[in-house]
Chain A
Amino acid sequence: MTPVSALRQGAQRVALARRLSDEWRAHGLAARPADRPAAEAAVVALYRLIDAPAPEFVWVPSPTAALSMVRDDPDTFPPVHFQGVNLPKYPEGWPLAAQLANLVQDVRRSLDRAVGHSASRGFWWRPLAIPAERALATGVAIPAIVDMVVGDALYTTLHTCVRTLIRAESMPTTGGTDGMTWYGQHDAHWIGHYDVYARTGLADYPRPDAELLALLAQLARSAGWWWPGEGRCVMAERPTEVHTEPLPDALNGEVRLHRDDGPAVRFADDTQIHVLHGTHVPTWVMTDPSVERIHAERNIEVRRSAIERIGWDTYIAQARLRHIATAGDPGNPGSALHLHDVPRELWSRPARLLLVVNGSVEPDGTHRRYGLSVPAHFDDPVAAAGWTYGLSGEHYARLVRRT
């Protein structure tokens, strides 16, 4: 093949991968009723692969609704996490959910061999930070570009920005195991990865692997989360509403959850998940962001989201913070640093609040103000600001520029 036609073929593959990635993202974000016959047929076929009879299906409106069913019925949904003496002697003695997971794990290993590398990433991994078309022109290998456009982009959107938040909301980590959860539409990031490799001609799978992948793909296109049990399978509907915004640095269509005036995700049973610019916030942040709740909140992103909803000036007035001192912010012309005392009973330890102003302008033309807690011994706002970066006030006063 000539270099030119190789380049053209590469460009066509990347374009196809992008289109397929968009399709998979749409399935992952779909907010319409499940295609129950398609989903049930896929599950029955999966049960058959491990020699289990077709289960009875129980449909629920949300993952939250499924959780109590799964937890309250240990005969149908036995624990799948074994330790030492609990471990069954033979694989046939494993719970059905564990056998199914085992089967899929084996197939994924086989698919990885055909692809040439694993779909999962190590902690050290960082995404490529350039557009696919430019990567192509500079000679980056096609599989690396396809990974960026498909697997990585879908993982960011469906796993990091959507599934993680739904799971945090509906499955608190306290209160016991949830058995074995399959994520249906939110498994689309890894199912899509294998699917696109096959459909762009970059990998060729053994027939049994391809058939199992097709079943999982059918589930990802037709339903929400599901829990396989002994003789019974609990299936959750997809959400009825999903609201997103583009990730600010998105190169490949990545989005995050966001909605200002209501839940970003809602299920038919009115399970709601509130998200502001990707930050998962408790309901009170949307409905009643009070000073007491803000001070009791551990997560700074949540605190900031809540304070920004009532406004920094209102917050400082309502919290009756005593003003200590104000100074110009070095490197940030026209902006001031305000130091306030914080009543000890509110933050449960001595601290002061430093109100600072962002160096860069927001889309609405304002500069965002935000508060940082600093040790109580500071009287000088510049020294307090220096402390946040581990510098003395004298050093911080030499700040040339803030963006």
Chain B
Amino acid sequence: MTMPTAPTMTMTPTTLADLTRRSGLDVLDHLERQVTIPVVDGLQAQGDLLVVPYAFVARAVTLTSGNWREVPTAGVELLRSAVGGNPHTLVADPGTCRWTRHVRDTMGLAIGMIETSAVAYLIHPEHGGTGIAPGRYVVRRQRERDTERVGWRGDRMIAD
């Protein structure tokens, strides 16, 4: 996609270095910071999280309230791994992106919904950054088959 050139968009980060500087979040040293972060208009994964265009899962995922929240400059932690480290954080320019955790998913995997009018970014200390094109998305966790038969689904969540 082409980047709009309006003055308000000059703040839009395009490299991992820009993104970490702007959000205050950091990533591990070995990740390449000067490469432009691709903006994806479609299905994408960051570790154990999947960003799904809403149209893919419109029948499975529904909102349970209209309680959207603005994504602040400092970002929103979507998911944190088991031992307290490595959050997936959603960051966006002020006033361009909102999110909610109030979703129901017949698969039980959705943790929230994002609606963004400009490019938003997902940043993770180990996986780096990725851009999300304007649109509405569902964020899902990854699962695997439980090797013991526990619970009614017999699946469990992945935490990396």
B86–A248 CB distance below 8 A: yes
CA separation between A401 and B84, bound complex, in Å? 26
Knowing A129-B25, A390-B107, say if A398 contacts B147 (CB, 8 Å). Answer: no
Question: What 0/1 pattern do residues 134 to 173 of A give for CB contact below 8 A with B?
Answer: 1000100000000000000000100011000000000000
Q: Closest B-chain residue to A156, C-beta based?
A: B84
Binary interface encoding of chain A residues 113-135 relative to chain B, with 1 for a CB under 8 A from any of its CBs, else 0: 00000000000001011110010
Q: Place the interface of chain B in its size category.
A: 35 or more
Residues of B within 8 A of A358 (CB): 47, 127
B110 nearest in chain A by CB position: A390
Q: For B87, list chain A residues within 8 Å (CB).
A: 129, 249
Given A373-B145, A390-B109, answer yes or no on A402-B45 (Cβ-Cβ < 8 Å). yes
- B31 & A348 in contact (Cβ 8 Å cutoff): no
Is the C-beta of A375 less than 8 angstroms from some C-beta in chain B? yes
A291 to chain B, nearest CB (A): 13
| A:347-403 near B, CB below 8 Å | 347-349, 351, 358-363, 365, 370, 372-375, 388-391, 395-396, 398-403
Contact in complex: A134, B45 (CB < 8 Å): no
> Quick check: A348 and B84 within 8 Å, CB to CB?
no
Quick one: which of A314-349 are within 8 Å of B by CB?
331, 347-349
Residue B56 CB within 8 A of the other chain: yes
B45 touches A403 (CB 8 A): yes
Shortest Cβ gap from A335 to chain B (Å): 12
Q: Are B28 and A363 in contact (CB under 8 A)?
A: yes
Q: Does B74 contact A (CB under 8 A)?
A: yes
Does any Cβ of B come within 8 Å of A10's Cβ?
A: no
Q: Please, how many residues of chain A have a CB less than 8 angstroms from a CB on the other chain?
A: 52
Partner of B45, one of A278, A374, A399: A399
Q: Are A278 and B85 in contact (CB under 8 A)?
A: yes
Contact A247-B145, Cβ < 8 Å, known A129-B77, A390-B105: no
Task: Please state if A351 and B145 are interface contacts (CB–CB under 8 Å).
Answer: yes
The answer to whether A300 and B158 have CB atoms under 8 Å apart is yes
Q: Mark A221-251, 1 if CB is under 8 A from B, else 0.
A: 0000000000000000000000000011101
Given A129-B77, A256-B83, A331-B43, A391:B145 Cβ within 8 A:
no
User: Contact partner of B144 among A126, A348, A373, A390, CB < 8 A?
Assistant: A373
Residue of A nearest to B122 (CB): A403
A33 CA / B107 CA spacing, docked (Å): 53
A402 touches B44 (CB 8 A): yes
CA distance A375 to B145 in the complex (A): 6
A365→B29 CA distance, assembly (Å): 12
Query: A403 contacts B46, CB within 8 Å?
Result: yes
Q: Is the CB of B43 within 8 A of A398?
A: yes
> What is the CA–CA distance of A391 and B139 in the complex, to the nearest angstrom?
12
B159 CB contacts on chain A under 8 angstroms: 300-301
Min CB distance B57 to A, Å, is 8
**Distance of A118 from chain B, by nearest CB (Å):** 21
A368 → B minimal CB distance (Å):
9
CB-CB under 8 A for A360 and B84, given A129-B74, A249-B26 = no
Asked if A400 and B42 sit within 8 Å, CB to CB, the answer is yes
Contact residues in B for A278 (Cβ distance below 8 Å): 83-85
Contacts of B44 in A (CB 8 A): 331, 399-403
User: How many Å lie between the Cα of A263 and that of B57 in the bound state?
Assistant: 46
Q: Does A181 contact B (CB under 8 A)?
A: no
Q: A160–B83 contact, CB under 8 A?
A: yes
Which B residues are in CB contact (< 8 Å) with A293?
Answer: none
Chain A residues, Cβ within 8 Å of B148: 298, 348-349
Asked whether B75 is an interface residue with its Cβ less than 8 Å from the other chain, the reply is yes
What is the minimal beta-carbon distance from A28 to any residue of chain B, in angstroms?
Answer: 15
Taken together as a complex, chains A and B put the C-alpha atoms of A251 and B27 apart, in Å, by: 11
A134 to B83, CA, bound (A): 26
A373 to B148, CA, bound (A): 11
B83 and A360 contact, CB distance less than 8 A: no
Asked whether any CB of chain A lies closer than 8 Å to the CB of B89, the reply is yes
Residue among B74, B143, B145, B147 with the highest chain A CB neighbour number at 10 A: B145
Pair A247/B85 contact, Cβ less than 8 Å? yes
Taking a contact as CB atoms under 8 Å apart, the answer to whether B24 and A129 are in contact is yes
Q: Who on chain A is nearest to B142 by CB? A: A388
Contact bitstring B124-147, A, C-beta under 8 A = 1, else 0: 111111100000000010111111
Interface residues of B in 69-126 (CB under 8 A from A): 73-75, 77, 82-87, 89, 105, 107, 109, 124-126
Question: With A249-B125, A360-B31, A390-B60 in contact, is A403–B84 under 8 Å at CB?
Answer: no
CB proximity of A400 to chain B, nearest CB, Å: 4
Q: Judge if A199 is at the interface, Cβ distance under 8 Å.
A: no
B147, A348: Cβ atoms under 8 Å? yes
User: Which of B74, B109, B129 has the most chain A CB within a 10 Å cutoff?
Assistant: B74
A-B contact pairs, 9 of them (CB 8 A): A129-B77, A298-B147, A359-B127, A362-B30, A373-B147, A390-B57, A390-B60, A403-B44, A403-B129
A-B contacts besides A161-B83, A349-B154, A372-B145, 9 pairs, CB < 8 Å: A129-B24, A254-B84, A359-B45, A361-B30, A363-B28, A374-B144, A389-B45, A391-B52, A400-B44
Top 7 A-B pairs ranked by shortest CB distance? A390-B107, A278-B83, A248-B125, A130-B24, A372-B144, A373-B145, A130-B74
